[in-house]
Amino acid sequence: MPVRDAQTDRDDTDLLTEAARAAGEIALTFFRKDPRRWTKENDSPVSEADIAVDRHLEELLRAARPGYGWLSEETADDRIRLEKRRSFVVDPIDGTRGFLAGSDEWTVALAVVEDGRPVSAVVYRPVNGDLYRATLGSGTTLNGQSAAISRRTALQGSSLAGPRTLSDGTKLEGHGLARIGYVPSLALRLAMVAAGRVDVAVARENACDWDLAAADLLVQEAGGRLEDMSGTPLAYNRPSVRHPALLAGPPALVDPLRVLLADPG
């Protein structure tokens, strides 16, 4: 197997940072201005803002790295990416429903994946300027400062982010978990875990590569884990881009939370 180039990873993270900031500026020109919108086949919304940002990102990133594959939520999947060792994985606006509803909890989520795992990642929240970055082996930062996963070691008193279908109910409350308000952007939800702003997070099944790849590296480099309910890490840039239900957080919380969520009682 070819040796991974750490300098290339760092350069790619810098490129993703530049691209995310530019994408955020474009998205903000549509934010709270009633952009044209429609519904995709899977009943999820898309707007002219998503398309404008996606086109800009594709032009900028593919010009900078013509040898990389391309996987984006808003671009038809031509499967050429499967032949590439490195690929961009892009969500031009993660949390489109929130974006269209006027919520400020949406992000631009960008990653470079190598051999199925993210090596460079940026999650950018344009409304408040929060910029989460990670490069494989170099840690996670939030606005230039080192970020780390929660230090909690017990579920009692821990905060949890996720959809009510996975994270609500008396069972969790009985173990002392406090559910925070719903965060429309899954990438942001996981980035908040990476920065220790939330202790643990869960995601329902069918999240896609573009929802997860960037935040996955943030969590990993901050000292945490993102994995499915069997404890298996995720693989990206595969023929299927969909994933099962997931949980993220520090190892001391992820393992007991998995057992708790798997218990039908």
User: Would you state the pLDDT for residue 40?
Assistant: 83
User: Would you state the pLDDT for residue 171?
Assistant: 67
Per the structure, the count of domains in the chain is 2
Both 166 and 243 in a single domain?
Answer: yes
Q: Which residue range(s) make up the domain with 71?
A: 6-147
Both 220 and 120 in a single domain?
Answer: no
Chain Cα centroid distance, residue 131: 13
What are phi and psi for residue 82, nearest 5 degrees?
-65, -20
Q: Among 84, 112, 147, give the residue marking a domain's end.
A: 147
Asked if residue 248 lies in contact with residue 225, where contact means CB atoms within 8 angstroms, the answer is yes
Record the pTM: 0.95
| pLDDT band at residue 3 using 50, 70 and 90 as cut-offs | low
Both 105 and 138 in a single domain?
Answer: yes
Both 134 and 179 in a single domain?
Answer: no
Q: In what order do the strands lie in the sheet with 117-125?
A: 69-72, 86-94, 107-114, 117-125, 130-135, 140-142, 145-147
Evaluate whether residue 129 is within a structural domain: yes
* pLDDT digit string, tens, across residues 79-124: 999 999 999 999 999 999 999 999 999 999 999 999 999 999 999 9
- Of 25, 85, 70, the C-alpha closest to 52 is 25
User: Would you state the pLDDT for residue 167?
Assistant: 58
